[in-house]
Chain A
């Protein structure tokens, strides 16, 4: 079972470049999330979606955009990469909100130089 699949696993960007982190889940979950993880800071919610066509901002949305055209896919777009966006990004999905188990991808490590 694939679960949540993230690509790419590693990427180096130059300041000002743009890129999209891909996320796909095959569990038919309505809820999907993007988190960033920085050392000693836990996981911070960037954006989330409660279903196809519906997205909303999380705790740290600045500099990012998302779309949800299908139940399966939830890409995260970085428009003008900045060094502050150097982080490990995790996509997750769940069957239920809040009390539902989060299923995470393996993460995408992004470095902005």
Chain B
């Protein structure tokens, strides 16, 4: 059983379209991070959300943390080919559940076609 579910696994869209990636758990997150990874490189942090209901924006990317801190979403407005990559969510759970370590989702491969 996956502690953290990420969906969809794969998205192929046209430039200019909007998209949303989801990250869900049956357990409460202490905090949640979103990373982006390009081929041949390591993941790079986009954002960390800590407070239930929190919304953070990074240019065309909007990150939401659910009120109950069990889910998060990443919304990209007007996607561009440069957004292509693997998006990973990573959740921190209370120490008694996973020793305070980050648990990664399986990732969403995004391809934006021009």
Asked if residues A101 and B33 are in contact (CB atoms below 8 Å), the reply is yes
For B43, what are the chain A residues with a Cβ–Cβ distance below 8 Å? 43, 90, 102, 104
Known: A42-B6, A42-B88, A45-B101. A101 touches B45 (CB 8 A): yes
Q: Which of B1-24 contact A (CB under 8 A)?
A: 6, 9
For B44, what are the chain A residues with a Cβ–Cβ distance below 8 Å? 104
Q: Is the interface of A mostly helix, strand, loop or mixed?
A: loop
Closest to B31 in A: A99
Residues in A lying within 8 Å of B, measured CB to CB: 4, 35, 40-45, 48, 58, 90, 92, 97-99, 101-102, 104-107
Residues in B lying within 8 Å of A, measured CB to CB: 6, 9, 30-31, 33, 35, 40-45, 48, 50, 88, 90, 92, 100-102, 104-107
Q: Which 6 A-B pairs have the closest CB atoms?
A: A104-B42, A98-B92, A42-B104, A43-B104, A42-B106, A101-B45
